[in-house]
Amino acid sequence: MHDAVLPPGERTAIVRDSLAVGVATGAYGFGFGAVSVASGLSIAQTCVLSLLMFTGASQFALVGVVAAGGAPLSGAATALLLGTRNTLYGLRMAPLLRWRGWRRAAAAHVLIDESTAMGVSRGTTEGARLGFVTTGVSVFVLWNLATAVGAFAGDAVGDPRTFGLDAAVGAAFLALLWPRLRDRRNVLVAVLAAAVALSLVPLTAAGVPVLAAGGVALLVGVLGKRQDPTEVPGPDDVAGGHR
């Protein structure tokens, strides 16, 4: 990667594409806000989760465990397992962005699937920074706004069963999982993890089966010798809502 100055046309294209990804992805925050309130969290707790945690899959994981009656600590552990992939993104993006100090710390908060995808594919440091920042900030702003709207809407609905919101957590996880199933190994891991989780449901407290299933995936990742082709998404993948 080199430090050449971006032509105006390329700069405009990167900003346009990044904003489009931000709008498309941020809209998913509405679903999280509604699901979170339906799971028992307050509007304030829901909004703080999006503001401080800001990683969709982990947020859905936490509220999913809470909705099932699990302890908040179990939900947090599950969310942490899902968030470990962001560490890999950091290792990939740090040498591309070349930031230090507070800029590096700020960038870590918007290090998500979409910002990684829009930054990692650029041929220059300036292009990588522009794609990363524009995508990350636009998703952050719109995700939080949509979360607040969804939380207030979910609170107004009242009983989550009225509009089927009690099933939304499972549906959201299926949507997050589906793009990963393009790889055969991921399909096998998903089946094995589901089998482990289902076998533990009648034997353990809520939240433990999810942790055990996450442990299966973590073990395969540690022992595996090849990179998951769906782990670091490309620009064509971000529309699938991989957060």
Question: In DSSP terms, which residues pair with 2 in a beta bridge?
Answer: 124
Any idea where the domains of the chain sit in the sequence? 8-183+228-237
Which of 84-88, 140-144, 174-178, 197-201 is predicted most confidently?
140-144
Average pLDDT of the chain to the nearest whole number: 80
User: Hey, what are 147's tokens?
Assistant: 């979360």
User: Hey, what are 232's tokens?
Assistant: 């670091």
Q: What is the mean pLDDT of residues 66-84?
A: 79
Confidence band, pLDDT 50/70/90 cuts, at residue 169: low
pLDDT above 50 (res 239): no
Identify whether the C-beta of residue 93 lies closer than 8 Å to the C-beta of residue 119.
yes
- Residues 112-143 pLDDT 10s: 888 988 888 787 889 899 999 999 999 999 99
| H runs (alpha helix) in the chain | 8-26, 28-38, 43-48, 56-67, 72-83, 85-97, 101-109, 113-120, 125-157, 168-177, 184-200, 208-223
Residue type at position 241: G
* Residues 42, 46: Cα–Cα separation, whole Å: 6
Identify whether the C-beta of residue 158 lies closer than 8 Å to the C-beta of residue 36.
no
- Residue 114 or residue 82, greater confidence: 114
